[in-house]
Chain A
């Protein structure tokens, strides 16, 4: 039996697809900001002088990096309610994504901190800056410059993994795709179009992050 591809449904699908894409972009935007902030805190903790802090954050990183994102999502959304903590799907998804991104981000930022020569810290202290000031004004900007490409890739990977949050009915791109294919009975065509939308999103996100990174991070004098 020959199969004819049929894209007639597409004219009515533009709106849900756009809605889903906006939701996906919104999720990753919030996650990227929160995740980067947490990564910086995490990296500061992992490279701090307190063994307790190093241990605690180190275990968190290992735990998250060695378990699937889908499991983390289900643990938060289906598991936490039995402890009395019921979260809205969008909140649960943002939380899971932030937790996941922060674990990878912590390792990335920590590697960046290692890449800053010790002399920079000593110079900062010699200038009479306190250690918090040395970290924020001298070490961190240089570290971020080094690790920006890796962080950018990790954010894009997280956006692609966010397709899984449709499983807890967050109304993002994959969720809209599921709805569309249920209505049009054109599963392959629907998922094909949505895949292309994701491809465009990851392409644009890479360009956007690269542009902002160059403008505000790489171009800026340390």
Chain B
């Protein structure tokens, strides 16, 4: 058996933290891109597109992320893709994040007064330009606080990817806890690391919300 000093534990945990952060960033960017597409479908004039986006959002918000991870991890090999835990984790989190982000942004689009659409139309803009120049920038601006708030959720949900074997902070901490027989120290430190990542985001979201309310 190997002896771990406190610093060994901390160093290994910090090394694993970069995977947690990287996965969060990838899922946030991916989720933002896919979420944009879902948002456009969700607020489109075509009934079937709206219906599809509604189902998509309902599916991802109505089922556990753990199940989504399992379905991607076990499902993609069935249709011929070899997949490691890293890509499965990134893909599942991207899909899940896209549903939540689309729903947050939809709230922003629907919060805009109807006059904004009319004004955009009366300027002679076509639908894509109405969206791009008038509606979306305002919708994004008023939903900044919930988006940052969701980012906190996303960072925390990366912990679940340890269950399908992605070696991020949580999985590393389990391994270290088992090797050192010091679960309290290890999980305490891991809690501290997550807290240090998430707490500034929480504070930033609260700040954005206060600024938004003051306007």
Residue of A nearest to B181 (CB): A82
14 other A-B residue contacts (CB within 8 Å) besides A79-B187, A79-B188, A195-B63: A65-B198, A66-B194, A67-B156, A70-B170, A71-B170, A71-B194, A74-B174, A74-B187, A82-B181, A163-B66, A191-B67, A195-B64, A195-B68, A203-B62
Within 8 A of A (CB), among B185-208: 187-188, 190-191, 194-195, 198-199, 202
- Does B116 reach chain A (CB closer than 8 Å)? no
In the complex, which residue of chain B has the Cβ closest to the Cβ of A1? B80
Within the complex, the shortest CB–CB distance from B47 to chain A, in Å, comes to: 22
Q: Does A60 contact B (CB under 8 A)?
A: no
Residues in B whose Cβ lies below 8 Å from that of A68? 156-160, 170, 194
**B67 close to A71 (CB less than 8 A):** no
Choice from A65, A75, A160, A202 contacting B187 with Cβ under 8 Å = A75
Q: How far is the CA of A174 from the CA of B195 in the complex (A)?
A: 28
**B1 on the A face (CB < 8 A):** no
For A, the interface residue count at a CB cutoff of 8 angstroms equals 39
- Is A65 a contact partner of B202 (Cβ separation < 8 A)? yes
- Is A136 on the interface with B (CB-CB < 8 A)? no
**Is A62 on the interface with B (CB-CB < 8 A)?**
yes
Q: Is the CB of B191 within 8 A of A198?
A: no
**A139-170, CB under 8 A of B: which get 1 and which 0?**
00000000000000000000011111001000
Tell me the dominant secondary structure on chain B's binding face: helix
Q: Return B140 CB to nearest CB of chain A, in Å.
A: 23
Among residues of B, the one whose C-beta sits closest to the C-beta of A196 is: B63
Near A by CB (< 8 A), chain B positions 173-190 give 173-174, 177, 181-184, 187-188, 190
Are A191 and B64 in contact, with the CB atoms below 8 A?
no
Is B71 on the interface with A (CB-CB < 8 A)?
Answer: yes
Asked if A66 contacts B199 (CB within 8 A), the reply is: yes
Contacts of A83 in B (CB 8 A): 184
Question: Does any Cβ of A come within 8 Å of B211's Cβ?
Answer: no
Name B's A-contacting residues (CB within 8 A): 58-59, 62-68, 70-71, 74-75, 78-80, 152, 156-160, 162-163, 170, 173-174, 177, 181-184, 187-188, 190-191, 194-195, 198-199, 202
A164 to B163, CA, bound (A): 9
Residues on A with beta carbons closer than 8 Å to the beta carbon of B184: 75, 79-80, 82-83
Q: Can you spell out 28 A-B residue pairs with CB atoms less than 8 angstroms apart?
A: A63-B191, A66-B194, A66-B195, A66-B199, A66-B202, A67-B194, A68-B156, A68-B157, A70-B159, A70-B163, A74-B187, A75-B183, A75-B187, A78-B177, A79-B188, A82-B181, A161-B64, A162-B64, A164-B66, A167-B163, A174-B66, A187-B74, A188-B71, A188-B75, A192-B75, A195-B71, A198-B67, A199-B58
With both chains docked as a complex, state the minimum distance between the C-beta of B106 and any C-beta of chain A, in angstroms: 16
Q: In the assembled complex, how far is the CB of residue B73 from the closest CB belonging to chain A, in whole angstroms?
A: 8
Closest chain A residue to B155, Cβ basis = A68
B202–A163 CB distance below 8 A: no
A174 to B69, CA, bound (A): 12
Q: Are B71 and A192 touching (Cβ within 8 A)? A: yes
Q: How far is B62's CA from A163's CA once the two chains are assembled, in angstroms?
A: 12
Of all chain B residues, the one with the shortest Cβ separation from A160 is: B64
A67–B183 contact, CB under 8 A? no
Residues from chain A with a CB closer than 8 A to the CB of B79 are 3
Residues of A within 8 Å of B162, CB to CB, are 70
- Bound together, the chains give a CA A163 to CA B70 distance in angstroms of 12
Best-surrounded residue of A70, A160, A161 (most CB of chain B within 10 A): A70
Please indicate the chain A residues that have their CB under 8 angstroms from the CB of B71 in the complex: 188, 191-192, 195
Closest to B69 in A: A191
Judge whether A194 is part of the interface by a CB distance below 8 angstroms.
yes
Q: Which of B66, B74, B181, B190 contacts A71 (CB 8 A)?
A: B190
